[in-house]
């Protein structure tokens, strides 16, 4: 489960809205193919919209209810803080005006 760093792992959630469009949060249980002897892979899908940020944390739970939560109370199952989470990407909403026939530079922040 990815949560804002100001929230504590194990606290009930306040919103079921995905942090980034296209992402599943919390991640569904891993498939058998994602489980190896030394590691387990979790698939959150690909976030495609909303602002990148460094102010999130990753919370973990052993065998939580599966899939997209039906209530924010499911967040209380994720009690173990794994560490910080950063979503990288360009800042959205930038505007660029270029003149036809002239050089144009775009700096992605």
Q: What is the mean pLDDT of residues 48-53?
A: 82
In the three-class reduction of DSSP (H, G, I as helix; E, B as strand; rest coil), residue 34 is classed as helix
pTM of the model: 0.68
What is the per-residue pLDDT across 61-97, written as a single tens digit (0 to 9) for each? 887 775 455 567 778 888 999 999 888 877 777 777 8
DSSP state of 14: S
Distance, CA of 109 to CA of 67 (rounded, Å): 34
Distance, CA of 43 to CA of 20 (rounded, Å): 14
- CA torsion, ordered 80, 81, 87, 93, to nearest 10 deg: 90
Q: What is the mean pLDDT of the chain?
A: 79
């Amino acid at each position: 489960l990815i949560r804002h760093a100001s929230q504590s792992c194990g606290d009930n959630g306040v919103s079921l809205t995905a942090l980034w469009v296209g992402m599943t949060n919390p991640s569904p249980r891993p498939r058998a193919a994602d489980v190896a002897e030394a590691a387990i892979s979790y698939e959150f899908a690909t976030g495609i919209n909303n602002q990148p940020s460094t102010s999130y944390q990753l919370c973990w739970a052993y065998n939580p209810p599966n899939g997209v939560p039906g209530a924010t109370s499911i967040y209380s199952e994720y009690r173990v803080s794994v560490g910080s989470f950063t979503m990288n990407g360009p800042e959205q909403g930038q505007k660029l005006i270029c003149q036809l026939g002239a050089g144009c530079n775009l700096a992605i922040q």
